[in-house]
Structure 1
Amino acid sequence: MASKGSSICKGSDLIHDYSCSKCEENDLNTEAQHFCPQCEHYLCGKCVRIHGEYFKKHAVYERGEIQKWAGFSMDRCDKHGKELEVHCDDHQELCCSVCVALNHRLCSSISHLPDLAKGFLKTEEFKQLPVAVDKMRYRLDELKTNWTKDQASLKDSYKNILVEIKALRKEINQILDKLEKKTVEQLDSMMEDLKKSIKDDLETLGHMDDQLKTLIEKLQQTTGKNKDTIPYIGFRKCQSILSEANRFVQEIRVKEGMKFKSDESVLPFLRNLKRLGNVESVFSTYVYKVQSLSHYKVRIKKDKNNCSIKGVCGLANGEMVIADYNNIRVKLLNRQYAVIDHFDLPSTPQHLCHTTDNVIAVAVSDFSTINEVYFLTVTKGKLQSMRKFTTDHCCHSIAHHKGQLYVGSFDGLYLYSMDGRLLKTIYEALSCVRTVYNCAVSPTGKRLYVTNDYISKLLTFDKTGQVLFTVEYPDLKNPTGLFVSPSDHVFVCGRGSIAVVQVDKEGKQKVTTVASEADGICCPQSVWFSGQTSTLIVGNYEENDITVIKLC
C-alpha cells in the first residue's frame, strides 16, 4: 500500500483496499486513512484536513475504526470502498475493480452493472422487493420476540437442570447408602456367625479335654477283681474319644479374622464416567404446511416422452436444475420455472445435487455399462459439461458435503472425492433389492439419510454406516425423493402414498405430512426445499410438470 498522504497517477496498478474519494476526482490514486459517513467519502491524510476545515461537525472514522467504514454507500464495495462496477455471474457477487483483480480474474462471466440495470425497475422481481423485505423484517421481529422469551426459558431450563442434577446425585447417594448398609449387615451377620462358631468349638474342646482327663485318672486308680477288665474298657473309651478329637483337630480351622473384597466393577465404572449425564441444546422444529400450490410445465419440443423428474436442485441465483429420466437430459429453469436450456446425456440421469458455486453433479447410469458422475456448470443461462468420472457400481443417487460426494447404488452407499477416488464404503446390503434408493447428508455431516422404497422406510446412519433410526409411516409408502436443507429440515416424498412428509432432523419420527394428494400433488418422485423462500419443489413421475409449493 502507499504510505499515508502519498499520491500517484490513477492509472497505476497499485491496489488499495480503500482509495481517497477526493483524490480519485483528480485522477490520483491515494490510500484512504479516514471515512466520513455524512459525506460518504474516503479521505487521505491531506484531504481529511481540508474536509475538517469545511465540515467541523462531521464525525470522521479513522483506520482503527475501519469496521465502521463499510455499508454506508449503496454503490460502494463493502470490502474495498470502491465503486461497484460489474457483477460476477459465476459467483453471483457485485464487484469493484479491486474485487475483479483479486478474486475474479479467472471467472468466465462478468457483466457490466449498467447493462444489467436497464429496465430492471419495471421488473416484477424488483416490484416485489418491498413485500419480501417487509415479510422478512416481520419474521426477524417475530424471532427477536421469541428469542427474548427464550432467554427467560433458558434461565428456567438452567435452574431445572440443576435441580435434576442434584436430585440424581441424591438418588445416587441413597443407592450408595443402601449398598453400604447391606454390606455392613453382611459383615455383622458373619461376625455373629464366627463368634458363635468359636464359642461352640471352645466348648467342644473343653468337653473332650475333661473326658480324657477323667478317663486317665480313673484308669490309673483301677484296683480289685476287675483290674483287667476295667482298664480295657477305659482304653476303648479313650481310643474312641481320641479318634473323635483327632478328627475334630484335623477339621477345625483357626479363625484368623475376616477380609473385604470390593466389587471390582464399581470403581472403574465410576472413574470412566465423565459426568452424570449430557446437557443438550433443544431446538424447536419448524412445522411447515401448504400456503399455495402451482404446477409448471417442464416438457420441451425435443422431448419424445413424458417427463419423469428424478432430481431437483436450486442455485444461488434462484435458477433450478432438474434431471429428466425419461428424456435422458438435464434441464435448466429460470426463476419463473421455465426451461431455458438443456444438456443431453449418454444415459439416464438418476439424480443430481449442487456442489459449489454453479456446479452440479449428476449421477448417470444404465445399470449395465454406463455408471458415471457428470459435472455440469451453469453460466449465463447455459448448461456446460466440465468433466466426469466412472464408478464400478451403478450411480442411482448423489449428495455433496464439504468437497466429498456420497454416491448411492441400489444396494450400497459410497464416499468419493471430487476427482472420483473411492474413499470409503459406507453401507452395503447386497442381498436385498433397492435398499438405497436416494441419499442425503445433514449439514454437519454426522448423519446420512437413505430412502428404501422396497420396504418403505427412511433410514438414518452415522458416518460409519451404523443404522441409528428408521421411520416407517403410511404417508411414506415407497419413499423416493429426499432432501435435507442447510437448516436441517428433512423432507421425504412417498410416491406410493402421494405425499411429502417432514421428518425431524435426527430421523427418528415424522413431524407432519406437508402436502398430500388432497393439496394437489400427483406423483411425487423428487423434492427440494428453499428455506430462504419457504418453497418446496416437487419433481413428478411420468408427468410433464413440476409442483411448486409455497409453505408457511
Structure 2
Amino acid sequence: MYRFLLNIYNKVFKTATFSESTVSKGSDSVIDFCCSPCQEHNIDQWAEFYCENCLKFYCGKCINLHGHLFGKHEMYGRGDTSKWPVPTEVKDFIQKCDLHEEQSIEMFCDDHSQLCCRKCVFLNHRQCAEVTLISELVKGPPPELQQLSRDIQSLHVELKKLQNNWDINIQSLKASYKKQLHEIGQTRQKINTILDEMEKTTMKELDARMTSLKASLKSDLDKIIKLKNETKQFGDAIHAIVDKGKEEIAFIASKKCLEKMKQSENFLKQNSVQIKSSLTFHADANVQQYLSKLSGLGKIAFVTKELVHLDDPDQVFTVQGKSSM
C-alpha cells in the first residue's frame, strides 16, 4: 500500500505544475481551474464558479458580468466542486501511460496488477489471461478516493519533511567541506612551520660549524704567516751579521735562528699533507622516507548522524556511523 501511495505521489508531485496558469505562486497546492475569460486575456486568475451551461469557469469579477447576461444558467461555486468537471490537465496526466507517454491507459492486467495502454498489451501482456478494459471494470463500486486523498496528503507532508531534512543535510555537507578545506590548509601550515623550524636548526648548525672551522683555519693561517715573517727576519739578520766579527750577536742569532727553524719544521711536519676544507650536508633519510610513504596529510572520514525528534525544534543528533575514505 505504501509503495502504491508513493507511486501516486511521485506522479502528482512531479506534475504539481501542470502549467503556470494552474499553480498558485509561492504555494505547493495545485489550482484546479483558472477563470476562462481571464485566461483568454493572458491573466492567471483562480476560478470561483463553474457554469454547467457554458462549460466555463469564472472568477469573482467575471461571474458578475456573466450573471447579467445569463441569469438562468446553472452555477456551482467552491462549495459544490464535486459538480465541477475533472481538470483537463489532470485527466491527461492520470490517463497517460508511464511507459508510452503518447498512449492513454485503457486496460488493466490482473495477472500483473498493472495499468496498460494498447502498446503495453501488445508488447508485454499478450500472454496474460486477465486483461480487461477499464470501462468494464468501473461498473462496480468506485474506489474510496477520500481516504486515498488523505493518505497521499499525509505522505506528501512526510516527504516534504524528508526533503527539508535532506536540504539541511546537503547544506551541512557543504559547510563541513569548507571547514575541512580550512583544516587541511591549517595542517599544511603547521607542517610548513615544523619544516621551517627544522631548516632553521640545520642552518644554525651549519653556521656554527662554519664559524668554528673558519676560526680554526684562520688561527693556523696566522701561525703560518707569523712563522714565515719571523724566518725572513732571521734570514735577513743572519745575512747582516755574517763576517762582521760580532761573535756574541752571531751566537745569539744562531741559537734563535735554530729554534725558529725547529718550530717551523715541526709545524711543516704536522701539516705536511695538503688539504682542502669543505662542508657537506647529508639529508636525514628517515624524514624523506617517512614523508614519501604518506599518501596525504591525513584521512577523510564520512560521518552519518541521525536526527531524533524531527518535529522538535531542539533536535538531537546522535552519531550513527563513521568511515574513512
Under a length normalisation based on structure 1, what TM-score does the superposition of the two structures give?
0.30
